[in-house]
Chains A and B, each alone.
Chain A
Amino acid sequence: MRKNPRHLFWLIIGLTILAVFINLPKISNLHFANKTFNFDPNSIFSALKINKTLNFREGLDLKGGTSLVLQANMKNIPSAQRSAALDSAKTIIENRVNLFGVSEPLVQTSVANNNDYRIVVEIPGLTDVNQIRNLIGTTAQLTFWEEIASSSAKVASPDTINIGGTNFKKTNLAGSDIQQTSVSFSQNNGKPEVSLVFTTAGAKKFADITQRLVGKRLAIALDNQVIEAPTVNQAILGGNAVIEGGFTTATATQLSTELNAGALPVPLSILSSSIIEPTLGSASLVKSLLAGALGFIIIVIFMTVLYGRLGIIASVALTLYTLFVLGLFKLSSITPYGITLTLSGIAGFILSIGMAVDANILIFERMKEELRQGKPKVTAIELGFSRAWTSIRDSNISTLITSSVLYMFGTGMVKGFALVLAVGVLISMFSAIVVTRTFLRLVYK
């Protein structure tokens, strides 16, 4: 049963070095012994040609920013198409958020109570109310109109317009059928133009329309203002089109950007929103970190006073525990499951330190008891671990049950807390049992 503690010891040392390496901040131009040192944990990624960076992801409450819950008004959308409409609205909001140029924005959809369609948006660093209003406003809506048999009677209906005596009917092709736009320059006269690439569905619609319009005119309108109405010379099947409307480079770029941002397929309204000033957030961060550091020192002193040499070993294990958890947080930032640090998450982390210490207290108290019954030291150590194990296991599993229920039902802050607590409990089982036992076996061999 007794494995060689040496192997475990080297494993722990290896993990520790790795964790220290990950946790180290970027250091540049450090002067030491007449030499200059540069260090960046991300250098390993660039050496491996992986385009990732390690960093602590800070939540909005620490970094400042805006969080919004938008509700989609699905009244006019058939129920079968609602989730598709929500997804495309999400993509468009994502595009618009990306135009703000902030790092790591979050856009998610959620369906509550089966018929409440929502988009949750978190934008770090953005605290301007006006910009947020633009986020859900309507941007450029591009529409395509086909020429219909000319009649002298003017038809007044929202689906038809009259340009210079010719009637045009609205087609089913719209801005949402555009996949991508860009600015290009005409091969004929060198003037700027906007090129469109349609989606697969859009390309098919466009091909159908141009096929039946050969020799007739197709009008393109932006927000119901006709930009141009060229005659279709031949059916266009490739899914590409060009708008020429007499642009300057600036207006062409603007139109292209607006079209890229896209028009919303459903009207959205703001269900809830909150703006957190970055100063408020960073003040909280500094305070919580200070409290955490202080709490840590208190635990180290307390454990050393209570358990002497054992307490020092437990403190070392606790230091490693902190390094492992922080390292894992930082590592998670390069995976799709990044853990975001929030104020409540930090509280959860500080609390998990308390739970990590509890495991050691349980073990040490058990050792004391076994020693009092006259067992030799080495036996007492082993018995302390094996007899305390059932209570450590059961109590930690019940904490894991609570945190996973919290994670499933919680929103935002509660979720962050639950995740950190669960990660903390799992790692604390490793540090309090494996790490402490390995050190003790080496010391009392």
Chain B
Amino acid sequence: MNIIGKKYWYFLFSLIIIVPGIFSLLFYGLNLSVEFTGGSNLTFAFPSKASNKEAKQISAIFTQNKIKIQNLSASGNQIFVKSQPVDEKQDILITQEIKNTLGNFQQQSYETIGPTIGGETLRNAIYALIIASILIVLYITWSFRSVPKPTSSFRFGVCAIIALIHDVLVLLGLFSIFGHFLGVEIDSLFVTAALTVIGFSVHDTIVVFDRIRENLKRVGGENFSEVVNNSILQTLDRSLNTSLTVVLVLIAMLLFGGDSIKWFVVALLIGIISGTYSSIFNASPLLVVWQEIISKRKK
């Protein structure tokens, strides 16, 4: 099997997934949860099924108290409200008014995040992403320092990070599309998933790179693209088996793990599949492309 020979087709396939996502990110952005923007999440549970009447009343009460509702949805006997920040005093006022107009109910959750905290959470997530990427490039550059010429360990680090950025873009792009069309929110669980995907992506890439390193030491770098191709094929069974194990576990979590972690698991699934793809079809072929560009220049 010649993976390196068809490398541009694989790059094209990645672009087909990533480009719509980038457009969605540019036009629709990300549907950020109150954790990042600041605001309130309130859940009201009624004794029987919550109908339009309850939803309308609640919305009216919020408007009376001059609190802008961003989203209101009903499911079963629960009504979920996402709004501008509601403080403790307003919450007491609102719950009292709902009790007066709609009778008995239970406030199942009350969550308010001030705008300052929201901004910090987002900033910290971005910092974490950048710092982790830099540290990983440094580690790979150091750990692969013994790779023989004509290649260099720094290139391994950079290619691993390009594969990582590929996975993050796939994930962010798809979730931007999901956010626009399905109302899926980016919350701190999503950030956790994204950071796990980064870990896994590099994990997968390193396994292939490790084999390239070993083969280069044995046969030298004369025919670089053949060495890379063989290394990918030799580690293919492992890559697929490992990903399949994780994917099976995640599918179990998706089917039985409950609603609160549903999109978290979807994010992990997308990331793991993308991570496996990029480690086989992007990271290592990119090493070959880089090598080819350099040898052309020398001529």
Q: Which residues of A contact B (CB under 8 A)?
A: 69, 71, 112, 116, 129-130, 132-133, 270-277, 279-280, 283-284, 287-288, 290-292, 294-295, 298-299, 302-303, 306, 343-344, 347-348, 350-351, 353-355, 357-358, 361-362, 365, 368-369, 387, 390-391, 394-399, 401-403, 405-406, 408-414, 417-418, 421
Contacts and interface: CB of A to CB of B under 8 A. Distances in A.
Contacts of A288: 253, 257-258, 261
B121 interface: yes
Contact of A391 (B127, B207, B253): B207
Contacts of A130: 92
A302 B248 contact: yes
Interface of B: 41, 87-88, 91-92, 107-114, 116-117, 120-121, 124-125, 127-128, 131-132, 135-136, 139-140, 143, 188-189, 191-192, 195-196, 198-200, 202-204, 206-207, 210-211, 213-214, 234-235, 237-238, 241-242, 244-246, 248-250, 252-253, 255-258, 260-261, 264-265, 268
Given A69-B117, A291-B252, A405 B202 contact: no
5 nearest CB pairs, A to B:
A287-B258, A274-B111, A295-B249, A391-B210, A354-B246
Nearest to B128: A409
7 contacts: A270-B87, A274-B41, A276-B109, A290-B256, A361-B245, A411-B188, A413-B188
B127 A409 contact: yes
B108 A277 contact: yes
B187 to A, nearest CB: 9
Nearest to B191: A414
| Interface secondary structure of B, over-half rule | helix
Given A116-B116, A271-B116, A395 B109 contact: no
Contact of B109 (A275, A348, A368, A408): A275
Contact of B202 (A276, A287, A348, A398): A398
A234 B192 CA distance: 65
| Interface secondary structure of A, over-half rule | helix
A270 B88 contact: yes
A284 B202 contact: no
A272 B119 CA distance: 13
Contact of B210 (A303, A348, A390): A390
A418 B196 CA distance: 9
